[in-house]
Chain A
Amino acid sequence: MFWQQVVNGLTAGATYALVAAGYTLVFGVLEIINMAHAEIFMIGAFIGLLLVTGTCCPVWAAVAGAMIGAGLLGWALERLALRPLRKQGVSHLAPLISTIGVSIFLMSLAMKIFGPQSVRFPASVEPRFFNLFGTVNISLLQIVILGISLALVAALKVLLARTRLGKALRAVAENPEAAGLMGVNVNSVMAAAVVMASALGGAAGVLVGLQFNAVSPTMGIAYGLKGLAIIIVGGMGSVAGAVAGGLLLGAAEVLAIAYIGSSYRDAVAFIILIAVLLIKPSGIFGKLEGRKG
């Protein structure tokens, strides 16, 4: 049973990691907690659902479509609600509130358009199960989700490390003014960060929708809260930290259900969080003292 629970935990953790990677990317570059990220994740799931049910796309196309749709939404968010706030003398609380506003807006809108009930992916994408070592059941879908999540995060990591855009992103994350003086177009780099983060969120939405077979306008809330806890545990702005934190949380939650009691599960994320902060306030992968948030 233990290994089955570990597998359960890791697949859950992989989607947490994907959501958290989006938060951490936006925070690293813009120093903003994007409270609308959870709703972009939800919209991504709906786009994927519409693609699968409406046009009978294969799953990979649904993921790609959701990433494009969520990315566009991220671009709109950046242009309409974040960029106007990027001027002198605006409190850092303002973007927090404007993204909360966008999040309420998107959730209420989704409820109006799609209705409040959960919607299901069609049965054709039902998972098939493999049995490992006689005791552990893992579905093809779980393997695919684990694979896609890790591949996306790895792609992000490579992009940050190797490409021009990645260099520009890191430069802006380090110091926007200096990067601007060096000829980096800070505005477009910041937009790129939000778009990429949203695309990752959209992909996570489809994967979660597929795995648990349901999409609903309120599905983002729980993932959003956990994503926030993960980026602190992993270290703000660190992609590796988001992955480690996501997997850790997924495993810890499942083990808490298995060995402590399922009713305490929702506290696990934050108990880990408080414990980590006590020992290493900058998070597992965090720099000692970066720019303060």
Chain B
Amino acid sequence: MDLLNVYHLQIITFMAVNSILALSFYLPLSAGQLSLGCAGFMSIGAYTAAILSLHYGMPVFTTIPAGAAAAALAGVLLGFPALRLTGVYLAIATLGFGEVVRVLFLNLKITNGALGMPEIPNLNDYFSALYRSWGLQGGLAGLDLPRLAALTTVVFCYFVLAACVAFVLRQENSRTGRAMAAVKADEVASGVMGIGATYIKMLAFVQGAFLAGLAGAISAHVTNFIAPGDFNYHRAVNILLFVVLGGSELVWGGLLGAAVLSVLPEFLRFMQDFRWIIFGALLAAMMVFRPQGLIDRQLLCRFSLRKKPGMDGMDARSSSGEVD
């Protein structure tokens, strides 16, 4: 059993980052907004974290929240104009925002343009150094130091992810969450019910931006290097794929989608050059046979042992809560 192989730990780390990205897409969607700006917000988080740690020498545990905060701020600024839009208009406008941010980073001096920013402090190294300072050069409990450090990075990322998931679930089951579901189901009706739709939409949008920035900042600290090309249109589409493939009705859908799509390209490695042909075909076939995504509410109900209507966040949300 070599689950603790550093290769697998690496994939599992990327899986966590992708899961946070899926949440960042899911949150605005749960208030009825299809936002493709995640890649843009992610890049703001990543660059903020990289600049703070490289130019100002700030420690990893302060740059990550700072990156998330910077992205949230950008989310507020973009939110004012963008939230007047709906549906496809919003999707393409936010996609455009991502492109504008990318071009900006290509041209700025502090981001080093297309050359990107190398030598970003790595979480693995940080933990290695930490353990070494504790006198654990030889590792612990049969694990050598590189594995121990990689494992700690994984635990750290999943801790952050679990906190995000807990937050999203808690919110869904709250007054705010129900307001989001109402706005998603019918914005006009929700207004009649006394819900401030603009505020709710803004809240969901900024929360999404925050999570995307968080994921970006973490990814900067696990990949050593960032360049504007990492946050292009393909990244935005990928994040969309996580949620829709996994199932856009539920938090779990996005998380499952992120997990599957992080692993699938690695799984298909044996196919060599045919890998991406198969991947594309699988994606299209998947939508034909299971358009609602891998998991939906029905599937979850079938597997859940007991069901208490009203007590469960998933049931509290309108079943017709489809964006249209």
Direct contact, A vs B (beta carbon within 8 Å): yes
Q: A104-B276, A270-B99 are in contact. Are A97 and B89 (CB under 8 A)?
A: no
Q: Tell which of B104, B107, B233, B273 touches A112, judged by Cβ atoms closer than 8 Å.
A: B273
- Stretch binding the partner chain, chosen from A46-54, A86-94, A176-184, A246-254: A86-94
CB-based contact A112/B277 at 8 Å: yes
CB-based contact A293/B89 at 8 Å: yes
CB-CB under 8 A from B324, the residues of chain A are 92, 292
Q: Tell which of B89, B274, B283 touches A281, judged by Cβ atoms closer than 8 Å.
A: B89
Which of A33, A263, A293 counts the most chain B CB atoms within 10 A? A293
Complex Cα distance A31/B63, Å?
42
CB-based contact A293/B88 at 8 Å: yes
How many B residues face the partner with a CB closer than 8 A? Answer: 47
- Does A174 lie at the interface of the complex (its beta carbon under 8 Å from any beta carbon of B)? no
The secondary structure that dominates the A interface is: helix
Report the nearest B residue to A271, measured CB to CB: B100
CB-CB under 8 A from B34, the residues of chain A are 93
CB-CB under 8 A from A229, the residues of chain B are 92, 96
CB-CB under 8 A from A85, the residues of chain B are 287-288, 291
CB-CB under 8 A from A293, the residues of chain B are 86-89
Q: Tell which of A80, A100, A225, A263 touches B107, judged by Cβ atoms closer than 8 Å.
A: A263
- Stretch binding the partner chain, chosen from A10-18, A191-199, A272-280: A272-280
The secondary structure that dominates the B interface is: helix
Measured CB to CB, the closest approach of chain B to A26, in angstroms, equals 12
Q: Which of B60-83 contact A (CB under 8 A)?
A: 81
- Stretch binding the partner chain, chosen from B4-12, B121-129, B196-204, B241-249: B241-249
Which of A33, A105, A271 counts the most chain B CB atoms within 10 A? A105
CB-based contact A232/B89 at 8 Å: yes
Q: Tell which of A84, A108, A225, A264 touches B277, judged by Cβ atoms closer than 8 Å.
A: A108
Measured CB to CB, the closest approach of chain A to B51, in angstroms, equals 20
Q: Tell which of B89, B104, B237 touches A277, judged by Cβ atoms closer than 8 Å.
A: B89
Q: A93-B248, A229-B96 are in contact. Are A103 and B280 (CB under 8 A)?
A: yes
Additional 17 contacts, C-beta under 8 A, given A81-B288, A274-B93: A33-B91, A85-B287, A91-B244, A96-B240, A97-B240, A97-B244, A100-B237, A101-B285, A104-B283, A108-B276, A112-B273, A221-B233, A225-B99, A232-B89, A264-B107, A274-B97, A292-B87
Which 9 A/B pairs are nearest by Cβ-Cβ distance?
A101-B283, A105-B280, A270-B96, A104-B280, A101-B284, A293-B87, A293-B88, A98-B287, A94-B291
